Amino acid sequence: MNDDTPDTLAGRIVGFIGLGLMGRPMAANLHAAGATLVIPRRAAASMADLGPDRIEILETPAAIAKAADIVILMLASADAMVEVCLGTDGLADAATPNTIVMDMGTTDAATTASIAARLQEVGAAFVDAPVSGGRIGATKGRLTIFVGADSAKDHERVAPLLEVMGENVTVMGKVGTGQAAKVVNQLISFSAQVTVAEAMALARRSGLELDTLIPALAGGAADSVVLQILGPRMAAEDWSITAHMSLAEKDLGIVLDAAEAHGLDLKVAAAARERWADAIRSIGADHDIAEIVRLVDPEFSGGGWHGGGDAVGSGTAE
């Protein structure tokens, strides 16, 4: 995000559906850059602090499609994607050749293909641009974004918005390749988070001070973004919400479905998903991803809200 150009999106009318943990700060950045936001009524309260200027509230996805130049989706599940895009009063009912729909959540390949095909049947364009970077990356406009677009024109239409929301934006190829890249990202991220939890538990049981160990690992072969973000939060027993455990299990399910479709048996991914499922059963689906360390070692306290923390992977929408 370029803070020097606050009005880069002046005149753009952007529909945004999915104003949750990630979507809300993403939409706020677009608004700060001059865009007019068109949002669902059920999300109006979450955006109230932005004031009434350049905010339009409508009842249905179809109404949003009619009003907006581009509609961004940041939804939590494939079912939500299908309902918003293809359901009654969905985007497909009102989309025109001037409409472009951009999915920025994590969606499986089959759902992405079917929604893209249906929208293209009515002449609309579809771009998949899933994000990584968590709530803090969304707030700061520093997301990593993987873009799949069928034409340079489609990418050019969404590029100014992506520049506001992201710091590392890469065009991966045609529609679907953005989600394929996100699947790889989630495999690496959520598997690594399980490993870091086990490492932090072993280190503390071995008598090591985590606040000393984590900087000592910096720059070595064991260093990673996951370690440097989640490690200090585990050490501080900071369980403030940055991404929910349910997201990890859901996205690793998408990883395993993709692997099966390509004839691969990803045993580490399967084991990681089972550990997240164990954590959900023991701790709770809506708890933060850092709390997986409590599954490994219950001596890490139940903790509470400590005001912030960063996030890895990506958050849910609603």
Q: Annotated active-site positions, please?
A: 182
Whole-angstrom distance, CA of residue 138 vs CA of residue 26: 5
User: Residue 101: which of 76, 118, 78, 79 has the closest Cα?
Assistant: 118
> Is there a contact between 83 and 90 (Cβ–Cβ < 8 Å)?
yes
What distances in angstroms separate CA 238 from CA 26, 133, 157, 277, 306, one per listed residue? 24, 18, 40, 21, 6
How many Å apart are CA 164 and CA 5, to the nearest integer? Answer: 9
Q: Half-sphere exposure of 59 toward its Cβ, with a 13 Å CA cutoff?
A: 2
DSSP designation for 88? T
